[in-house]
Amino acid sequence: MDIKARAEELRGTLNEHNYRYYVLDAPTISDFEYDRLLRELEDLETAHPELVTPDSPTQRVGGKALDSFQQVVHRVPLQSLQDVFSPDELLDFDRRVRESADSPEYLLEPKVDGLSVALEYVDGVFVRGATRGDGQVGEDVTENLRTIKSIPMRLKDAPAELIVRGEVYMPRKTFEKLNGERELRGEALFANPRNAAAGSMRQLDPKIAAARGLDMVVFNIQYTDYAPFSTDSAALDWLRSLRFKVIDYQLSGDMGEIQSAIFALGDQREKYPFDIDGAVVKVNSLSQRDGLGETAKFPRWAAAYKYPPEQKESVVEDIVVQVGRTGVLTPKAVVAPVRLAGTTVTNATLHNQDFITEKDIRIGDTVIVQKAGEIIPEIVSVVKEKRPEGTQPYQLPAVCPVCGAAVVRDEDGAHIRCTGAECPAQLLRNLTHFASRDAMDIEGLGPAVVEGLVNAGMVKTPADLYRLDRDKVAELERMGKKSADNLLAAIEKSKGNDLSKLLFAFGIRQVGQKAGKILAARFGSLDALARASEEELTEINDVGGITAKYLTEWFAAPQSQHLIAELKEAGVNMDSQAAPVGDRLAGITFVLTGELSACSRKEAGEKLEALGAKVSGSVSKKTGCVVAGEAAGSKLRKAQELGVPVLDEGQFLILVGEREGDADALLAQLKK
């Protein structure tokens, strides 16, 4: 077999299938067959690295992480468009165009709400991609753009030079899936698909961008040395022939027809996989564009029509409460059906109790409803003159509507949260956290597997993980017997974890890794910790009154007690494996700087915390001691300036009892 020819054949075949799947949305082979071909190419390129080419499908998975983004000066500026907000303003735009152009034809296209970028091709090969930035200078995000499978890496019959502009976006379905996964992991949610796309493009590690499922649509030629077309529509058709995913467009020389098309586009926006925040109207003739020119900020031949938020009256028929994966109670208004922005709205978000109270929203009220950002229905205001008699102010329930556990309000926010350790609504998130690396560290039990177990009815609490049936697990999608054996072995191994990891796995509010280690080492067993009073807990350094309250409330809850009993029965370790600790260093704040030879700075900090000390990252007047290793820098100098006691590594080891010496004398020196 000619290996080079086979690799070239595979690249061509895979690129063709990428085009059919990601651009035409018309795949002709199964995912399994595609993966098989890709694996064959990966094996060939691994064995023969000299065969790897920049346009190979194997290069889309994300290359080496970058230290920073390089600046790119755009060869042709990426201009913004002048916004218009009403039919009258659109007619003014048309009038100004007709003053300089005879019988203009307009091209109308949806305005994609994403991140604008420029793609550069040389001799048909994708060589660089950059964000818009300020229009003149952007950032080089080439490696992240390579991961977007609808972007062609090599063009057939392309000119020597070509720069195109387009919009990177995150499809709505992908956005919902991404936010769902982030919620399970307890990570901050993206506000909208545009923010998610922009954040993904600015990841220094391309592998993260590759996992985000981004897409791109092209809408303009910025520069080319080959231009046999006289209109924008012809240019877009030519780009489509080069296998770019090109924006849809409509043509008309009648501004009345363009206006009607804009309104129809607004009503049909749900049909697009991406969010749109308006419609773009452009003069189609390239020569007329040249004649119209541009201002210092905008081209005179284009405008962006922004859709005003459509508002209508409806009636609040009910208020229902949903419990999210993190336990937050979210109220939702059930409203009489009303048509908004192209869809029928029957529900509107109420955010939280503060929002309801501020607007005084009650069941039976007539309200004004709109779509926030043209996506999420929300209540703008109450029409109080239409309020029926006998309505009552609404209050969220005092117990979780799903599991009946008590609810608490966040100390630092407006959220009201369920406290149930076994609440079914929080099951996916709780299990994912329970199995995470810093918690019980169950390898192979990621969000997808957790979801499969829950959907199959095999797991209703974390304790059920330790009672899984191997044969049933093997029947789950993408598992099999070997994967099931590996998963069950990892679950079995987790039984022996230290108590500190179990405490973190419980997800008790304000009990993170550090607090878990301190509590486990101080009390020695889960039973001893469960018996501790708030007063006893607050005596521990780094455990404040709020954390102590959360701990005692969690251990007192029936669901928590049931979970602990189930885990004990399953054989999960409930004791600390750390050496017993004291409080010899309580009240002293340490700062570590420089390199230590006997242990890492993290390990040194843990030794100090185990003796009751507090470890900080910066030196101040409140610092009690600085431990200085080799090559100590600015922290040491600041300690000397402030007169803070300094210990070298040898003295530190004496102080923590790992080297012979007079530890009491050192301690007395620190407490002066």
Rg (CA), the chain: 31
Catalytic residue among 4, 64, 111, 156: 111
Classified as helix, coil or strand, 564 is helix
Burial (CB < 10 A; 0-12, 13-18, 19+), residue 89, is middle
3-state DSSP call for residue 353?
helix
The tokens for 244 are: 């770019």
- Degrees to nearest 5, angle at CA 573 with 569 and 578: 160
For residue 43, give Cα distances in angstroms to 149, 214, 627: 20, 26, 51
Cα–Cα distance, 127 to 125 (Å, whole number): 6
Q: Where are the alpha helices (DSSP H) in 310-458?
A: 353-359, 427-435, 447-455
Q: Nearest Cα to 514, choosing from 647, 620, 608?
A: 608
Distance CA 417, CA 397 (A): 11
Are 298 and 289 in contact by the 8 Å Cβ rule? The answer is no
Residues 6+ apart with CB under 8 A from 343: 270
Distance, CA of 197 to CA of 301 (rounded, Å): 28
User: What distance separates the 2 farthest-apart alpha carbons in the chain?
Assistant: 96
DSSP secondary-structure letter at 382? E
H-helix segments, 391-498:
427-435, 447-455, 470-474, 480-494
The encoded tokens of residue 372 equal 């926030």
Evaluate whether 519 touches 501 at the Cβ level (below 8 Å).
no
> For residues 168 and 215, is the Cβ–Cβ distance under 8 A?
yes
Buried b (16+ CB within 10 A) or exposed e, 202-236: ebeebeebbbbbbbbbbbbbbbbeeeeeebbbebb
- Alpha-carbon gap, residue 310 to 359, rounded angstroms: 20
Of residues 298, 305, 299, 295, the one with CA closest to residue 286? 299
SS3 assignment, position 578: coil
- φ, ψ for residue 298, nearest 5 deg: -135, 155
511 neighbors 550 (Cβ within 8 angstroms): yes
CB 666 within 8 Å of CB 584: no
Is 111 part of the annotated catalytic residue set? yes
Cα distance between residue 184 and residue 263, in whole Å: 39
For residues 84 and 93, the answer to whether their CB atoms sit within 8 Å is: yes
Q: What residue has token string 């796995």?
A: 505
Distance CA 274, CA 644 (A): 58
**Could you tell me the two tokens for 306?**
């922004």
Could you tell me which residues come within 8 angstroms of residue 147 by beta carbon, excluding any fewer than 6 positions away?
60, 61, 62, 206, 209, 210, 214
Residues noted as catalytic: 111
